[in-house]
Amino acid sequence: MGRMKELFIEQQNEMEADNTFYKGVHDSMIHSYARKAIEEYIEEGETPCPNCHKVSLLRNESNAKCTECAQEFVYVDGGALRFM
């Protein structure tokens, strides 16, 4: 057996021992990555902060936070912001 193959097998065994090796269905793995991406905050370029009135909001699927005044908000029906 070649040295590269030995290193690969050793790496796979270490990943299995650390429980970082994925063993499930790949569709669920892809959905979990997508869920993590949705939970990340992205820059909202148009909506001003209701607290400080500056266009500096970061948002994810259901929450927003202002980078200037550090106020956090939640999105309610119709896309309106409500203070947390």
Question: What element of type H or E holds 82?
Answer: strand 81-83
CA–CA distance from 68 to each of 42, 44, 49, 71, 83 (Å)?
15, 13, 9, 8, 15
Q: What is the pLDDT of residue 12?
A: 80
Q: What is the pLDDT of residue 29?
A: 67
Enumerate the domain spans of the chain.
1-39, 40-84
pLDDT digits (tens, 9 = 90+) for 4-55: 888 888 888 887 777 666 666 667 767 776 766 666 788 888 889 999 999 9
